[in-house]
Chains A and B, each alone.
Chain A
Amino acid sequence: MNLIESLLTGLDEARRHWGQTLLSLLGLILGTASIVTVLALFGGQTALTEQFLSEVGGRGTIIVSDREPSAHPGARELASKRLTFHDAQYLRDRATSLTAVSPGWAQQLSYRVGNTSFTGQVIGTVPAYMAINDIKPLVGRYLSDLDVQHEARVAVLGWKYADSLYGRATAALGQIVSIGEKSYRVVGVLEREEFYFAAWENNALEYRNERAYIPISTAITQYSATDHLDFLTLKARPAIGGAGAQEQVRSLLFARHGVEDFDIRSSGQGAGQQAGQFLLLFNFIFLVVGVVSLVTGGIVIANILLASVVERVREFGTRMALGATAGGIFAHVLAEVLVVTLIGGLLGLGLGAGLTGIVAKVMQMPAVVSPFIATVSLTTAVSVGLVAGLFPALRASRLAPVEALRYA
């Protein structure tokens, strides 16, 4: 009898008593289900993070800002003018890895319309900023090159500010708003931006709804009168990618400043991480549960198999008397284990898919059981079964026929 025939015999006989074996597979089923769920949720979360990054301008969006001055600054640091308008022009000319450079100015100023007033963020910038950050006007327009050239007193309002100042976002268009005690005409109101990492999380993009954009030239002449910038928003050439572009920008700026008094990061880096914290913990718990149940499942399977081998020692003895070889018995036991763990793995996969669906629905999170996840979890289940079944199979095949027949 060859190996394949042994496997077929084992398979055939596992089929006949799989009902009783199924119970022993509970650990394996639960373990597989947990792993499937973790991977599906993790996959969903990764997709969500990707989506968030593309919402805030895609992976290639880079933000450069001043670094906190050191406690005991050296001569070079003191000599550095920090981020300036000239840096922006310099990068536009030299940074081949970038497709767009947008200088940025930011300050907290008071907003006032009639009796309503509050303090909030004002961003001074250029038209390129809109393209880089994928901003869309709900009504009106965004800032134009002409606005920047003429230091025009125009503002584009975020949805939330337009809504709170005028009662209705669209009503703001064409109105006058006082920002930092200066009057601006509202030429556009932006679409409301929303992104939720989970149902219980706050709008991760709400900060974008709570600001106004004015031409950077206007901002500098009206409020600061220096060419100092608060940040630069850059767009990396897709072929080069964010990391490569960051390196080039770092070396160019270092050459100009003589000291690294700036920070470079990807857009959305902070926000995405923060929102993902809870999910990370959640996934970790699931993963631990999954691994523990798989290990327990493996031990239970090994135990049950050992017990069933003991019960079946006389059967194996009989088989040997009829001409089964040690290898044949080994293959027979292993084949039963394989079939049974595969069934357990498939049931676990089904349960995991169901669990994923429920968790995704209850927690409002995207999660998909992909073919990759199915393959990984099934392979894991079968591997656990193989390892667990190896010892019982070896034990059964090592018995001498007469010992096996006499086994009580």
Chain B
Amino acid sequence: MTALIEARDLAKTYRLGQVDVQALRGVDAEVAAGEFIAITGPSGSGKSTLMHILGCLDSPTSGSYRLDGEDVGTLSGKRLAHVRNRKVGFVFQTFNLMPRLTVEENVALPLKYRGGVPRATRRARALTLLERLGLADRVGHRPDELSGGERQRVAIARALVGEPAILMADEPTGNLDSQAGSEVLKTFAELHAAGHTIVLVTHDPGVAARAQRVIQMSDGRVV
């Protein structure tokens, strides 16, 4: 299996007023295609920072990072947007759906940002994914008409629509009740079984246990 993610000695320092906060203090990470990884640790351990860097939402202060064979540490803002659009699918704790768009429009949004994808194709791919995630009867609804579990599955459909190399989820069950949470986790398990690469951030050991491999963080380091 090829390494999809190859990070070496990642460090991230934030400046909070007069104080420098070291969120990451030299982290190595490797994720192979098809893996299901959980990054876990107490709050402030740097797990979210690591995921943001791996998802190209943030850049490391030092260290090198290759995503799918491309050195993303050196890319410009515009190229990074391109990488995020094509290689990474994000699922957020708070779903982050566009409240004014319908379910179908929300799912098709990454393809709209990709450019050059005809409207009919965008629509067809959004519908296919929504069907696969059991939301075929919700396409015309607005996010606020859905339950939390449904919203998160819409967000997963949106993350998958661009056929990314890797699916990243930041506390995807954090805002869900246990039943909806376990349904979402079941979806992740199914996606993993279908060959998707998944990196999931959680502080919940129960959720982490569903993953193939766990990266345990503490004080900005992998333990």
Contact = CB atoms under 8 A, between A and B. Distances in A.
Interface size class of B (residues with CB under 8 A): 20 to 34
B82 A323 contact: yes
Interface string A370-408: 000000000000000000000000000000111001000
A349 to B, nearest CB: 27
Given A1-B112, A1-B115, A405-B57, A323 B162 contact: yes
Contacts of B113: 1, 319, 322-325, 328
A320 B100 contact: no
B98 A323 contact: no
Contacts of A318: 92, 96, 98
B77 interface: yes
Question: Top 7 A-B pairs ranked by shortest CB distance?
Answer: A323-B85, A323-B113, A318-B96, A402-B58, A325-B81, A16-B100, A401-B57
B114 A314 contact: no
A296 interface: no
Interface of A: 1-2, 5, 9, 13, 16-17, 314-315, 317-328, 400-402, 405
Contact of B158 (A9, A315, A322): A322
B25 interface: no
A322 B115 CA distance: 12
Given A16-B100, A321-B84, A322-B109, 16 more contacts: A1-B114, A9-B112, A13-B100, A314-B96, A317-B96, A318-B92, A319-B109, A320-B81, A321-B57, A323-B86, A323-B162, A324-B81, A325-B77, A325-B113, A326-B77, A405-B92
Nearest to A322: B110
B55 interface: yes
B123 interface: no
B84 A17 contact: no
Interface in B29-75: 52, 55, 57-58
Nearest to A324: B113
Given A315-B98, A326-B77, A401-B58, A320 B84 contact: yes
A317 B100 CA distance: 16
A318 B92 CA distance: 9
Nearest to A15: B100
Contacts of A1: 112-115
B140 to A, nearest CB: 14
Contacts of A324: 81, 113
Most buried by B among A1, A317, A321: A321
B78 interface: yes
A203 B79 CA distance: 75
Contacts of A323: 81-82, 84-86, 110, 113-114, 162
B188 interface: no
Contacts of A315: 96, 98
